Amino acid sequence: MAHPIFILNGPNLNLLGKREPKIYGSQTLDDVEQMCAETAQQAGLEIVFRQSNAEHQLIDWIHEARETASAIIINPAAYTHTSIAILDALSACTCPVIEVHISNVHQRESFRHHSYVSQRAEAVIAGCGVAGYVYAVQHAARLNGSR
């Protein structure tokens, strides 16, 4: 697979579709993966789609992406607001980084208003529901074409 788009998902996103559906909707992470794969395929690209509840696992995957990915799309979930380690891992990468949040974090509790990751992200998508992932793949494909 030549330079896939890595799509990484943080803690509790494995519960998508079951968890707080009023905030996060009823589609599952498998549905999101399928939408992303189809969007990438239309652009002639492939994806690597993963989820972990463990910060160190996300960091190891970012290190893997550093060597192989054309772009990183990441929804770090709660680690968005806490993890300097994830910011540092992303800062060690040269490919574009797109941060995605399903909900509009700025409309929610104040502790969700700050993102460590945004400092490194080329683009941030929040509040579009799971369609935000599709927009992120489209944006990654555009950036790939312009590089």
Catalytically active residues are: 24, 101
Taking CA atoms, 126 is separated from 60, 80, 100, 146, in Å, by 25, 12, 6, 24
| 112 touching ligand DQA, by CB under 6 A | yes
Helix (H, G, I), strand (E, B) or coil at 21: helix
Cβ distance to ligand DQA smaller for residue 99 or 141: 99
Residue 24's H or E segment, with its range, is: helix 21-24
Cβ distance to ligand DQA smaller for residue 43 or 123: 123
Task: Give the range of 25-33, 45-53, 65-73, 77-85 binding ligand DQA by CB under 6 A.
Answer: 77-85
Q: What is the CA radius of gyration of the chain?
A: 14
Which residues here bind ligand DQA, judged by CB under 6 A?
12, 75, 77-78, 80, 101-103, 105, 112
